[in-house]
Amino acid sequence: MFALSLKYLWGIYYDRQADPTSDKPLPPGNMGWPLLGETVHFVIKGCKFYTEKMVKYGKIYKTHIMGKPSIRVMAAENVKKILIGENVLVQTSWPTTLRKLFVRDRSLSAQTGDDHRTRKVTISKVLGPENLSYMVPEFQKVIRECIENWCNQDQVFGSFICRQMTYRLTNEVIVGVDINDTQSIQILPYFETMIDNAFSIPIKCPGLAFKQAVHAKDKIIVAIKELIAQSNNNSSSDVNCVLDVLRNLRDADSLTDDDMVDLLLELMFAGHHTTASVCCSLLLHLGQSPEVLEKIREELLENEILDPTANLTFEQINKLPYIDNVFKEILLVKPPVGGAFRKALKTFEVGGYQIPKDWTVIYSIRETHNISPMFENPHKFNPERWNGERLKSADLRFHYIPFGLGARSCPGEQFAKLTVKIFLVEMARRCNWKLHNKNPDIDLLPSPYPKDKLPVSFTKLEIK
């Protein structure tokens, strides 16, 4: 009875945090238990927590997770205000666990205002089309080697092989080093441990999830420092890696060595984990929909690049409309990031409710896609939907946000797009694959991956 009384008083306390200058109420919701809020429920249930809340409370609701009073916002008409209100209504903010693991003080995601804008522009040049276009041969080489290796094994796990492949590619773009499979196998389990325990209670006690995540992060930092030492900075005049840019910033006294490591950790995590999620989702959905794979092959044949020995160019890759449809579709049905965190800089109103100053705002990407009237049956993998003029209009802008929008949009969008499209081309012209479980359960947090790791068998394709 005493515990229930404390819970009731906890809820009353936050109800009284409503800004009296606003005539709008707080959103409906539950603030959970004192201090813990609903964090334990969130950690146990994962994305089911969000789904159940949406069904019960609607498109905007309040909760208390990861140590912060929070309001989750979904649907285009609501997230629009968050996305266009960057640095005016909201500012980037991260839960304690994520901040201590991934988002250090000098990482890109932690920067705000002019500091973020300047740093993002600098890094985006390296991750932009002009620089990436020179990396197509190296991307092809890595992806071809990976596929050849998969075809020589009886069975592999899709979630692991996609992480291994994208980790190699990420190292090439970010550090300028092409690591071998042995090196990636040594470091990837630490990334997996850190990621799997990212949404945990931030208490560093032996045996607890957060302690394991911190230990894994320390191992990764050691590996990053070794990669920096391994990089000889001998890139050609046409190609730069992110490390080159960071070295220049360090030499200009705007970065320390530790700052540089923090940035590399953030970019390597974001670059390989989310892109691998997209590739793994494609393995699943193309395995379920062989007719889509055949249409990809037809497009390659029409463009005279079905020959697996043919080298690709950046221009060719970006003149494949059906592959572009497949790329957009997988980001609709399985966005690699489900949402993003912000902090309210001042009290403002969304959807008839107030969001008080200093509260956390979580805008949803996944649910915004799922409930948008722009998409018929958004859970069904259907690349043909993108042929319609309706989905090419400006009206789509806030309904489809896999990379976010505006000032805080993902700087690695072009890297992900190039990686996934080359992956699609090489898979279509080099192999077939069989899913051992065509309908696996999916873990959606922090990124979509099959719970059974997606066991799959590859066979080499002989195209005549």
107-158 per-position pLDDT tens digit: 666 666 666 676 667 677 677 788 788 889 989 999 999 999 999 999 999 9
Which tokens sit at 459? Answer: 């066979």
Q: Residue 362 and residue 42: Cα distance in Å, rounded? A: 14
* Number of H-type helices and E-type strands within the chain: 19, 12
Alpha-carbon distance of 393 to 447, in angstroms, equals 28
Q: Which segments within 150-215 are labelled E, that is strand? A: 156-157
- Longest pairwise C-alpha distance within the chain: 76
Contact 215, 197 (CB under 8 A): no
- Residue 13 belongs to some domain of the structure: no
Do the domain assignments include residue 5?
A: no
State residue 59's pLDDT score.
Answer: 97
Domain assignment of residue 367, yes or no: yes
| Interatomic CA distance for residues 259 and 432, integer angstroms | 44
The reply to whether 180 falls in a domain is yes
What CATH number corresponds to the domain at position 223? 1.10.630.10
Instruction: Give 68's strand partners.
Output: 65
pLDDT at residue 103, rounded to an integer: 62
Mean residue pLDDT of the chain comes to: 86
Whether 44 is in a domain gets the answer yes
Q: What residue type is 48 in one-letter code? A: K
The pLDDT value recorded for residue 53 is 94
For residues 198 and 192, give the distance between their C-alpha atoms in angstroms, rounded to a whole number: 10
Question: What domain range is 196 assigned to?
Answer: 20-460
In-domain check, residue 14: no
Omega before 321 cis (within 30°)? no
Q: Pick from 288, 275, 273: which is nearest to 98 by CA?
A: 273
Cα 88–Cα 94–Cα 98 angle in degrees, nearest 5: 160
* Reported confidence tier of residue 205, pLDDT bands at 50, 70, 90: confident
Whether 11 has a pLDDT exceeding 80, the answer reads: no
Asked if residue 11 belongs to a domain, the reply is no
Mean pLDDT value of segment 182-199: 80
pLDDT of residue 237: 44
- Identify the residue whose tokens are 């970010």: 174
| pLDDT surpasses 50 at 9 | yes
Q: What's the domain count of the chain?
A: 1
Cα 165 to Cα 102: distance, rounded to the nearest angstrom: 21
Q: What is the mean pLDDT of residues 425-430?
A: 97
For residue 300, CA distances in Å to 8, 145, 167, 312, 323 come to 62, 20, 27, 11, 9
Q: Which residue has the tokens 């994305």?
A: 47
As a whole number of angstroms, the distance between CA 342 and CA 71 comes to 10
The answer to whether residue 2 is domain-embedded is no
Residue 234 has pLDDT above 60, yes or no: no
Which residues define the annotated binding site for heme?
A: 410
Both tokens assigned to 188: 């990837």
Binding-site residues = 410
